[in-house]
Amino acid sequence: MVLLGESAVGKSSLVLRFVKGQFHEYQESTIGAAFLTQTVCLEEATVKFEIWDTAGQERYHSLAPMYYRGSQAAIVVYDITNQESFQKAKNWVKELQRQASPNIVIALAGNKADMANKRVVEYEEANAYAEENALLFMETSAKTSMNVNDVFMAIAKKLPVGPTQGQDSQGTVDMNQPQQQSKGSCCK
Amino acid sequence: MGQYIDIQHAFSISGFLHMKYLGGALSLWRPRRRYYFAIDEIAEELIYHKSEVDFTVHRIPIGSFPISTAVITLDDNNNCAFILHVSGRSVEFEADNEKSCRCWLDAFSNRYSEAEKQKFSQTMLRKTKKSSSLPDHESSTEQPVPPRKFSFQVRPTKRDLFASPSKHPEISENYLLDEEMDDWVTQWLRNEKFHNFSTLTDPTTPTSTNMSKKSLCSDSADTEELDLLREITNNQKKRIEEMKHEMHSLTMHLDQMRRRCDSTSGTDRDTLSSQNKFLNSEILRMSAKCEIYELQTSKFKKENKKLEEDLHQLRCDYVYAVQSTIRIPLHDNTAMDVMSMKLLGGETHKSRLVQLVAEARVEDPSLPTLQSLIQGIYVDSFGFRICLRDESIALHYMATKLHQFYTNKSTSSIEHKKNWKTFLEENAFIELSKETKTMCRRGIPNSLRSTVWKILINQQVEDLKVVYGRYYFRNLCNTQGGEDEKLYSDVHQKQINLDLLRTMPNNVHFMTANSKGVTQLLQVLHAFCLHNPQIGYCQGMNFLAATALLFVGPEDAFWFLIAVTERYFDKTYFDSNLTGAQADQEVLKELLEVQHPKIMKHLTALDIDVASITLNWFIALFFDAVPFNTLLRIWDCFLLEGPKVLFRFAIVLIGKHEEEIISRNDAIMRVSKAASRLAFDEQAIVDMAFNILNLPTRLELKNLQLLYVSVLAERLEKKTRRANAFVNMLANTFSNEKLISNIFIDEFSPDHGFVVSGHHLMGKIAKIKVVQNRGTMADIDIEFDCRVMSICMVKPDMAYVSLISGYMICAHIGSNDEWSVLWEIKLPDVATCLIHRENTLFAGLANGILTVFENSGDKWPTSVQMWHLPLSSAPLMNCVIHDDLLIVATACKLITLDAASLTTLSTTHVASSSTGSGVFYFDKITCMCESSFGIFLTTDHSTLIQLWQDTTCNLLYDISFDHKTRKPSLSETESSVHVESLLFNDSLLWIGTSDGYVFIYDVEPTDNDRENEVKYRLKKFSTDKRGSRSSASKSCRLESLPEDLVENDVPVVGKEKRASRVSICIDRETQQYSAILKNAEEEQEGTGSSSRFNSHSSKTIRSPIRKGFSADSAVSVFSSEPYTETKIDLIEKSDEVFAFNKKEINKFPEARLVSSTDSSCTSMEFDDTFELYSDEERSRRQIAITSPKRLATMNLSRQIHLKRRDLTFDEPYFVPVPESTDKELASDIDADTVVPSVRLTLSMKIKISDSSVRKIISSGPSHILTCSGEFDADEAVLLWRKDEENNLWINDPVLHISSFSSGSSPIDSQPSTGRSK
């Protein structure tokens, strides 16, 4: 899966919280993309997240397809204290709908929910947008770890159960496994 | 005494020292105490504890010294001691040994390295120009001052009394030359203290007064000194006199003794000589023995030394072995995701390592202890705070550190360091030669790194420095205002500010906003943005600058950034698309193909792009990719040799773990990431990197890179353009520029089609050719002054084109696609659809008239027979020819005509859909397609697919369920999605939506599987409710239209071709319409003469259009049946239309009412039975309007079933409906259900555009064309073909070959597919 969103909205922090349970007030800025993995067990299947945490700066935008190509899920992150980041998130959603694989599960995460006193993006607004575009939506906080696991779990549940590959990985969904049927991406 | 745990402390060095306060009268008697000291890098304090234990458990220290302002000096007598001067006090510290002392001093001096650097640049500058305007740092006291100078400072108290003698010229010279002398004099003076006093107080000394008198005139101070000295001399003279006396007496005494001795010597001489002999022999024997022992000792010493060396080597190898045990974990381990370490042998290694560290810490207290690592209070020599919670990883870190420590002690590294030193002394520049390469590849010693880097950076940008001037950096730092500054604050400032504290947050120099490093980083990045506004700030530069700042000053870091962007790389490297960096990845891939073909093959098979791993390495020069020490080694080489080394290291880092990568099919990314993280073994990696063979030369690499840059730049630019266009579209600056409106297929050669595009002022046609699964389109050299509505080919070389202006154009197509207009004709209204059958052209007009051209294949209009056949009052939106039937869609009716006789066979009112708002729309049929199952159609603003066969509704299927499969919420929001285009082809139903999705459904006859089916109920309004409108269809008409005229010329639709020859024009400017009535003769005359129908002979009726009614509704005056009602009826009826649900009316905005009348007069068609389709379970309703006379034949007792087992979501989809409405409706209607005859199964769903999918059309047997968006945009027109292997539909963009660049071959675009569930 892939995390997208504007710079400094907390993409890396979300992943770090999910994968390692840590939080740093100042998370080192990401260059290109960072890669992390985490395995979670649902009731019926084990989901292995292979997460691309992408760089937020506009300059790295042209690299994003390299990472969301073949991703089965995406979290588009914005900062609830930053209207611009929400706008950017909308653009990301559009781009994903257009260029990512057609069955991609997209979640919208309004991060920094702990800073609700500085909120500028209303929950209702984002929620309405998410519904319009059929996105999973949650407000999260990597700092307090609110909803962090939930958003990943919600995605895991939405994922189609992949074909069992081999004997050892029963019901494993490999997030990064390219779709065998289709080479290359869609709508290029 | 509480616990002293606070993360605000981190210690770079800790160990035992003896401490003693100096100064004050009691300084000599003060005791020397041994404490455990540590430097706190964050609080900038030197703290001390009673014991090491106290320190490790974080007790509150006994005391502390602030060291930010402290001055360190050395004690010249004691090599193990140094003196700290802080806040007016001086404290002497003595370390256990000299090395340890040096470490302490290094730790202190690390803190001042910045000041030194400043000074270095100062002196550099001075060399070049004496009149430097830089501030003078010479007086800085932070420098460790020379010892002598210091001792001068420290001891003034002792000399207060003797200030004068010590300043005697002679003595002070000696003092400066010879320190011992100084000490002697001091000592001596101290002893002489009281003598001096006594002599000083003696006024009678004649010499002193004399002498003083002599020198009084010259200098009073000197005189005093001279006096003093003279007194001393006098004293000495006196003493000498005394001593002479004494000596004399002693000599006398000695003589006496000698005499006495001579008298007694004779008797014992023999015995003494024999004794002497014996003793001599004994001495010889002993000395021989001694020699033997000495030999033995030296032998043992040698052996001992050898053993010691062996031991050292073993230790070194041992820690190296421990260091090398680090591995990529076999399984996911969330705590440490990239490395794991397992030391067999239990605690042995742990205790051994701890012991080794403890031993080494005696010499180098800056080494970490296990506790300090685990507690995260250790700061390494670069300022990084190391925190390793995992014990084995901490042990590994200790082993790494120990290895460095031992290596640095080895003779070869000492030699290496010496070489560097002599090299630096001899050379001001480091030229790129074999020697320097070898030296850099062996690594620059830590202590010399800042010097060497500074030289390397500066020599890269030497020429630039000449151009920009010496004070360029300072100038940029202090620039205020200006355009560049504005650009900076607009574009880059925000990002830089965001990143400042996100750069090396674990380094003490970059920890807080006030940290020196952070301020300098800001300075450097800001200056760089001003220097190069085109590149500006790119994430990654922060790490480059910060790493440089750890070793060199801000100015050099700034030049380093310039060197990277302009010398090592070029300006494309960090441009808006990172073109250069991406190009390098392509180059790297090529190199890897050669070096590690297996890996590349494996990665390609798994569809993993190497660039996704390696791009960071190039952009941030391996920052955060490899351990920091390895990074430094890479930089050492990079700074001298340039970017080629990056390729070398990248190849090594990937190639090193070849086996691991090849053996895995998943988690490749994790392995490759770990591969670089584990690169602790810096020397081995450097060696491997420079032993790669078959690498292209630097120049070849450069050229290759440039080649890729040019290719990439083009593509990326195109992409950016597209993205920009995309963003613009999002920003609602939606332009109608050449929006594609439709595609038509040449029915004579299905491989050819036409794309029409344009807007209300311009229309263009482009021709599509499909050859072997590839589509191309080329502009046709014809342009219209308005939008093109429809194209129909009647002969292979003849086409009819209808325009929105109401004209119909007949064009001849030449062999080379040259179009020439044969003739044109103005129709009563716009022909919205054209369809051709057996030399007859049917044109459905927007005013509800079907115009029939007979002999349409004839070249000249003389023979063309044109008939107007009024069918409806609403526009004829679509028409289909099915066998011998012509099916015309108008409003919500399907009118079936016999194509030959034009007899109306049936009229079917189709269901209308409701939108989420609960407002009912009685909307026109927007698209339809015929199929073997019947007619598929949808109405405006609807997502409901309907299948009608004859007058039977066989299917209602709402695609919004499929469209929103991911919808997690239950609440319904108004959605603007609706079906925009439909195509039935080869048992597949293609649906295009307004938001750019294409759905492909498998259509198959239903097998009556009714379980779990969603039921739609067809509900029917009772007829008596509509008594007032039971008299069939109504329409308004213009009162000014003479009734007889209507009677004569606008007959009721008959069985024969009783069509009127009427055309109607609307003058939109004057708001008048004109009805032109003709007879057949006139018509032929007209077409023959002027090709237009506005001849003067016709009667023209003009009438102003009433306010509130659009031209469209006025046009619809000619309905199928004539009526004599007035316009007011229309308004009344409109009310009635909505009167059945008052609730809705209240919500209904005025604009909506107008638009509803606007939209093809649907309300006027609202004369038939109301049918309400409702899904009971979902409270969802639809309204169907069915013609009453056809109701009888319609089997209402059937149910419509929706089978949607493909849907993956669990939550049902609800449409909230107000209860009151429910009740009201329920009382009005009878319910019935419909059974679907076919089942739709979603086989594919794909978003192809952001704008609506305007048209889906089949081209030939196996190709489908879709269009959406703007004409010239990429992927606007897509050609779909079925991939036989995996049964998927693949789309390729139809490439537009513009007439200007027709020579260029089309770029091979990647085929893309959708994926079926």
Q: In chain A, which residues have their Cβ closer than 8 Å to the Cβ of B1210?
A: none
Contact B897, B844 (CB under 8 A): no
For B574, the closest chain A residue by CA position comes to A59
Residue B657: the pLDDT is 82
Q: In chain A, which residues have their Cβ closer than 8 Å to the Cβ of B1248?
A: 187
Q: In chain B, which residues have their Cβ closer than 8 Å to the Cβ of A28?
A: 502-505, 624
How does the average pLDDT of chain A come out, rounded? 82
User: What tokens were used for B325?
Assistant: 């045990």
The shortest CB-CB distance from A31 to any of B540, B673, B1310 is to: B540
Residue A5: the pLDDT is 93
Q: How confident is the model at residue A128 (pLDDT cuts 50, 70, 90)?
A: very high
The H or E element that residue B913 is part of is: strand B911-913
Which of B542, B576, B616 would best serve as a mutation to test chain A binding (most A beta carbons within 10 A)?
A: B616
Q: In chain A, which residues have their Cβ closer than 8 Å to the Cβ of B666?
A: 48, 174, 176-177
Residues of chain B with pLDDT under 50: 1-5, 120, 123-177, 194, 196-217, 334-335, 730-736, 913-922, 966-975, 1009-1232, 1300-1317
Q: In chain A, which residues have their Cβ closer than 8 Å to the Cβ of B619?
A: 31-32
Higher model confidence: residue B263 or residue A22?
Answer: A22
Between CA B1176 and CA B1202 the distance in angstroms is 13
Instruction: Kindly calculate the radius of gyration of chain B based on its CA atoms and give it in whole angstroms.
Output: 50
Residue B1010: the pLDDT is 45
Is residue A119 within 8 angstroms of chain B, CB to CB?
Answer: no
For B673, the closest chain A residue by CA position comes to A35
Contact B625, B616 (CB under 8 A): yes
Buried b (16+ CB within 10 A) or exposed e, A62-84: bbbbbbbbbbbbbbbbbbbbbee
Higher model confidence: residue B1176 or residue A6?
Answer: A6
Is residue A110 within 8 angstroms of chain B, CB to CB?
Answer: no
Helix (H, G, I), strand (E, B) or coil at B128: helix
B1209 φψ region: left (φ > 0), alpha (ψ -120 to 50), beta (else) = beta
Q: How confident is the model at residue A34 (pLDDT cuts 50, 70, 90)?
A: confident
Between CA B1175 and CA B1182 the distance in angstroms is 8
Strand locations in B290-418 (E): 378-379, 385-386
Residue B202: the pLDDT is 44
Q: Do A48 and B332 touch (CB under 8 A)?
A: yes
Total residues found in chain B within this entry: 1317
Contact B948, B910 (CB under 8 A): yes
Q: In chain A, which residues have their Cβ closer than 8 Å to the Cβ of B576?
A: 58-59, 62
Residue B347: the pLDDT is 82
Residue B961: the pLDDT is 67
Q: Is the pTM of this model over 0.80?
A: no
Q: Do A57 and B495 touch (CB under 8 A)?
A: yes
Residue B636: the pLDDT is 92
Residue A124: the pLDDT is 92
Contact B368, B397 (CB under 8 A): yes
Q: How confident is the model at residue A79 (pLDDT cuts 50, 70, 90)?
A: very high
Nearest CA of chain B to the CA of A86: how many Å? 14
Interface of A with B in 166-185 (CB under 8 A): 174, 176-179, 181-185
For B964, the closest chain A residue by CA position comes to A134
Is residue A146 within 8 angstroms of chain B, CB to CB?
Answer: no
CA quadruple B239, B240, B242, B243: dihedral sign: positive
Is residue A120 within 8 angstroms of chain B, CB to CB?
Answer: no
Q: Do A90 and B967 touch (CB under 8 A)?
A: no
Is residue A68 within 8 angstroms of chain B, CB to CB?
Answer: no
Give the mean model confidence (pLDDT) for residues A6-23. 90
The shortest CB-CB distance from B501 to any of A26, A62, A103 is to: A26
Cβ pairs bridging A and B (under 8 Å):
186
> Which alpha helices (DSSP H) does B835-881 contain, by range?
none
Identify which of B1003, B989, B199, B624 has the alpha carbon closest to the alpha carbon of residue A32. B624
For B1287, the closest chain A residue by CA position comes to A181
> Taking 90 as the threshold, does the pLDDT of residue A127 lie above it?
yes
Sequence-separated (6 or more) residues with CB below 8 Å from residue B527: B473, B476, B477, B558
DSSP 8-state code for residue B1001: E
Is residue A46 within 8 angstroms of chain B, CB to CB?
Answer: no
Residue B190: the pLDDT is 64
Helix (H, G, I), strand (E, B) or coil at B764: strand
The shortest CB-CB distance from A184 to any of B542, B613, B1311 is to: B1311
